[in-house]
Amino acid sequence: MIKSTKPLKALALGAVAAISLGAAISFAQQSGTQSPSYKGSIPVQEGQNYASLAKVSMQDAVKAAQSAIGSTASPTTVKLGNENGYLVWEVVIGGQEIKVDAGNAQILDKQAANGAEENDGESQGEGNSDGENSGN
């Protein structure tokens, strides 16, 4: 009887893929970049007073996000924070997470909201609670 090596090859390929993904995530965390990577207009560092640096108000960020997805729905989450070293409004509306540049209201990214991402252990209102709305 001849045994097939296909299951072993598939298992080995899966292990290599998992290790590669883990290495990529580890590198991104060590280098301080987030995925997806984008650039904003206001560079920031952890610990700064983000609310005092923002040129775009929370209301204008929400309007820009609503326009980007063609919706007038109210956001469930709005927070100001450091993304990739830049000051960014994160606006969650109708299952969409929209990243709005806090300097010029440009849409930097939009994608399906992920519960883990919305509650990723970051403190609400990173740096200052003035730029915060939990939607309650």
- Strands 132-133, 77-83: pairing is antiparallel
In residues, how long is the chain?
136
Task: Please tell me the distance from the alpha carbon of residue 129 to that of residue 124, in angstroms, as a whole number.
Answer: 7
Amino acid in position 75: P
122 band by pLDDT with thresholds 50, 70 and 90: very low
Residue-wise pLDDT for 18-65, tens only, equals 454 444 443 344 445 567 788 999 999 998 999 999 999 999 999 999
- The predicted pLDDT at position 126 comes to 36
9 band by pLDDT with thresholds 50, 70 and 90: low
What is the CATH topology of the domain spanning 38-133?
Nuclear Transport Factor 2; Chain: A, (3.10.450)
Task: Please tell me the distance from the alpha carbon of residue 100 to that of residue 108, in angstroms, as a whole number.
Answer: 6
Name the least confident of 2-6, 15-19, 111-115. Answer: 15-19
Task: Please tell me the distance from the alpha carbon of residue 8 to that of residue 17, in angstroms, as a whole number.
Answer: 14
Domain borders along the chain are 1-31, 38-133
Is 71 a residue whose pLDDT tops 50? yes
Residue-wise pLDDT for 92-114, tens only, equals 999 999 999 999 999 999 999 87
Which neighbouring-strand residues pair with 81?
Answer: 88
| Cβ atoms of 84 and 34 closer than 8 Å | yes
- The predicted pLDDT at position 6 comes to 62
